[in-house]
Amino acid sequence: MRKLFVLLALLIAPLLYAQSGTAFNIPKANLIQPAELNKIITTKVATQPLILQIGSRMMFEQAHIPGSEYIGAGSQGSGIEALKARVASSKKNQAIVLYCGCCPWGRCPNVAPAFNALQSLGFTNVKVLYLEQDFGTNWIGNGYAVAR
Q: What is the pLDDT of residues 62-113, one digit of tens each?
A: 999 999 999 999 999 999 999 999 999 999 999 999 999 999 999 999 999 9
Q: What is the average pLDDT across 49-74?
A: 97
CB atoms within 10 A of CB 90: 14
Secondary element (H or E) of residue 128: strand 126-129
pLDDT band at 44 (very low <50, low <70, confident <90, very high): confident
DSSP string, 31-75: EE-HHHHHHHHHTT-SS--EEEE-S-HHHHHH-B-TT-EE---TT
Instruction: Name the DSSP class of 22.
Output: S
pTM metric for this prediction:
0.85
- Contact at 8 Å (CB) between 61 and 147? no
Instruction: Name the DSSP class of 126.
Output: E
Q: Is the pLDDT of residue 12 over 60?
A: no
Q: What is the average pLDDT across 2-15?
A: 40
CATH says 2-142 is which class? alpha beta
Q: Is the pLDDT of residue 134 over 50?
A: yes
- Quote the pLDDT of residue 29: 97
Q: What percent of the chain stands above pLDDT 90? A: 81
- Contact at 8 Å (CB) between 28 and 127? no
CB atoms within 10 A of CB 48: 13
Strand (E) positions, 64-119? Answer: 69-70, 96-99
Q: Which of 57, 62, 134 is nearest to 103 (CA)?
A: 134
Q: Is the pLDDT of residue 121 over 50?
A: yes
Any idea where the domains of the chain sit in the sequence?
Answer: 2-142
Residues 6+ apart with CB under 8 A from 46: none
- Quote the pLDDT of residue 60: 97
